Chains A and B, each alone.
Chain A
Amino acid sequence: MAAPIAIHLEFGGGAELLFNGVKDHRVTLPSQSEPWDMKQLLVWIQENLLKERPELFVQGDSVRPGILVLINDADWELMGELEYQLQDQDNIVFISTLHGG
């Protein structure tokens, strides 16, 4: 069994509009048999945090193209993307590039 983990989620660049305008979320992911990965986190976010228009955030089992993901301040493309295994106290940032100014 993997113990529950506490992580920090941040939404910006307009992505926060899909989460009631709330940018910062400190959440605890429940204990499960396997370690949490990003793919499971996206499902969890959809079920627990996403308030509206899920199609603007997810596409298939990944984020919608145009939403950047940073894992502990590094581009998730360098971190294994969906396969990245979450650690306690990780900081995950989602930034939309799709919103104008």
Chain B
Amino acid sequence: MPIQCSSCAKNRAVLRRPKTGHSLCKHCFFWAFEEEIHQTIVSARLFNRGETVGIGASGGKDSTVLAYVLKVLNERYDYGLKLLLLSVDEGITGYRNDSLETVRRNQQQYDLPLTIVSYEELYGWTMDAIVKQVGLRNNCTFCGVFRRQALDRGAMMLNVDKICTGHNADDVAETVIMNVLRGDIARLHRCTVISTASDGEGAIPRCKPLKYAYEKEIVLYAYFKKLDYFSTECVYSPNAYRGHARTFIKDLEAVRPSAIMDIIHSGENLSVKEGVKMPVQGTCSRCGYISSQSLCKSCVLLEGLNRGLPKLGIGKHHRLHDKILAQQALTEKEQNKLKAIEF
């Protein structure tokens, strides 16, 4: 028994929206989905006329939908933005090659310029080479830190005013839970913010236009629009801890779909009591990127790789950063501590 669209009452409904419980037809769903993103963009004042906006594009569902919708809205509402695609090539054989092919097709399909920056050109290391040295235990740490900075560096090369990423409501809720589980108050405080200002030199403002868009709707939007996206698992071991948080969120959503919005709402309204020590943001003394330490995480990880001490950036070794900065030799004990890799 087909259910009618609750909005137009003309067509057959194709989905039940997790956020509202409404049953909508394809046409009304497309419109509602796009309009909500437009409302997010307008009410949070994410962009200004004349800006160049780099879309972090991985070829995956979120960034593909983001690029498509931003292009639609930029034309529909005359935002006056110059949009471009920015991709990072981590150097993972058999994983990134295919997804970069997807981004290249998106470039054609959406007629947006594309720039690809690679770990190899930025850091002198591909993820394949990094995994050879560090093993499969901490590789996600390297990849996450390097990717974040790679997007910034690419954006700077292109004179981009803002970067936007495809983080969706499920991602944000998951990050809130992760930060609670880790007791990471500084990140918990920051992670629900929809856009970061240009604090510090080496960082370009970032925003998440899909912050309130459910993953279910993003995937169904891509499906019904027949958008070309790439889905896979990274060939290197996924972040197990994040995986648990993800499963937890999905289990909650199955019972009560509003749980995702409620977690975001909780995160947004948390306030940190006075007296909690928060890291002071400064800049990396080596590369100028924002950092709460004298060396940014990326420079520390890189230094560790180049010295054959891959555990340098993993865990708390702040004390050693000053030594490295001063180009002092490490003691044998310190070296051994940083060499041991658990596989």
Which chain A residue lies CB-closest to B223? Answer: A95
B110 to chain A, nearest CB (A): 16
Q: How many residues of A contact B (CB 8 A)?
A: 22
B52 interface hit (Cβ, 8 Å) = no
A residues 37-61 near B (Cβ < 8 Å) are none
B16 interface hit (Cβ, 8 Å) = yes
Taken residue by residue from 1 to 29, chain A's Cβ proximity to chain B (1 for < 8 Å, 0 otherwise) reads as 00000000000111001000000000000
Chain A residues whose CB sits within 8 angstroms of the CB of B13 once the complex forms: 74-75, 78
Chain A residues whose CB sits within 8 angstroms of the CB of B231 once the complex forms: 12-14, 96, 99-101
Chain B residues whose CB sits within 8 angstroms of the CB of A64 once the complex forms: 250
Partner of A68, one of B2, B23, B216, B234: B216
A99 to chain B, nearest CB (A): 4
Question: Quick check: A101 and B63 within 8 Å, CB to CB?
Answer: yes
Given contacts A65-B251, A78-B15, A78-B23, contact A99 B216 (CB under 8 A): no
Chain B residues whose CB sits within 8 angstroms of the CB of A66 once the complex forms: 215, 246-247, 250
Which chain B residue lies CB-closest to A78? Answer: B3
Question: Quick check: A97 and B215 within 8 Å, CB to CB?
Answer: yes
Chain B residues whose CB sits within 8 angstroms of the CB of A101 once the complex forms: 58-64, 99, 102, 229-232
**Measured between alpha carbons, how far is A101 from B100 in the docked complex, in Å?**
10
Chain B residues whose CB sits within 8 angstroms of the CB of A12 once the complex forms: 223, 231
B14 interface hit (Cβ, 8 Å) = yes
Question: Quick check: A74 and B232 within 8 Å, CB to CB?
Answer: no
Task: Give the interface centre of B15, B232, B251 by most chain A CB atoms within 10 Å.
Answer: B15
Q: How many A-B residue pairs have CB under 8 A?
A: 80
B22 to chain A, nearest CB (A): 11
B177 to chain A, nearest CB (A): 15
A34 interface hit (Cβ, 8 Å) = no
Given contacts A65-B253, A98-B246, A101-B229, contact A78 B219 (CB under 8 A): no
**Measured between alpha carbons, how far is A15 from B77 in the docked complex, in Å?**
36
A87 to chain B, nearest CB (A): 12
Question: Quick check: A74 and B233 within 8 Å, CB to CB?
Answer: no
B220 interface hit (Cβ, 8 Å) = yes
Partner of B15, one of A17, A75, A97, A100: A75
Query: Which A residues have a C-beta under 8 Å from some C-beta of B?
Result: 12-14, 17, 64-66, 68, 70, 73-75, 77-78, 93, 95-101
What are 26 A-B residue pairs whose CB atoms fall within 8 Å in the complex?
A: A13-B61, A13-B231, A14-B233, A17-B232, A65-B253, A66-B246, A68-B216, A68-B219, A75-B14, A77-B16, A78-B13, A78-B15, A93-B223, A95-B220, A97-B61, A97-B215, A97-B216, A98-B246, A99-B232, A100-B60, A100-B231, A101-B59, A101-B60, A101-B62, A101-B99, A101-B230
Closest 7 pairs between A and B when the two form their complex, measured CB to CB: A101-B60, A75-B15, A65-B250, A65-B254, A14-B231, A66-B250, A99-B231
